[in-house]
Amino acid sequence: MIVLIDNYDSFTYNLWDYFMQLYPAGCQLVRNDEASIESIKALEPKGVVFSPGPQAPKDHPLMFEVLDEYVEKIPILGICLGFQAIGTYFGGTMTRASTPVHGKTSKIAHKDHQSFYGIPNNFEVTRYHSLVLKDIPENHLKITSYTNLPEEIPMSIAHFRYPVWGYQFHPEAILTENGHQLLKNWLYHVN
């Protein structure tokens, strides 16, 4: 099974529903303030997903504990807040966006990375964020997509060695094109 850590976002159950459709072994939802690293280890996850949520990554320590435990062991996917947690875990920094984007769509350009297998370039994604990831450490992470309106902003990252990916946008949002395929591409790495 995969474990979906709920960071109290309204989109979390959309994600859970998508994973239940796409992954026959199931998806266990755990709330970030009710779970511990020990309780997650007891579930023996084959992959972990960090949901979107409010605040900044530093306000959600469980995601960092999961990264400490599993970054070299199992696939990890971070969405929005989860993307930001992965980025800061590896040394990136968060800053306020010059223009917050909430409930808006943007076209993104992706680079040649397996997270976008079967997905055309320049497709629409739905964004809900007022923070952006900067100073992404190139020795650990690569930017796999970006948007350039109103400025070039990383929209996804991937670890160079491990199946640890992050999407700043929401693949589970109805206005995001290819949302199921984005999640399937990550699930390909889950045993």
Show which residues are catalytic: 80, 170, 172
Query: Taking every pair of C-alpha atoms in the chain, what is the biggest distance, in angstroms?
Result: 44
Which residue type sits at 43? L
Which residue type sits at 8? Y
Q: Which helix (H) or strand (E) holds 184?
A: helix 179-187
Which of 33, 42, 41 has its CA nearest to residue 60? 33
Cα gap 117→178, rounded to integer Å: 10
Residue 49, judged by CB atoms within 10 A of its CB (0-12, 13-18, 19+), counts as: buried
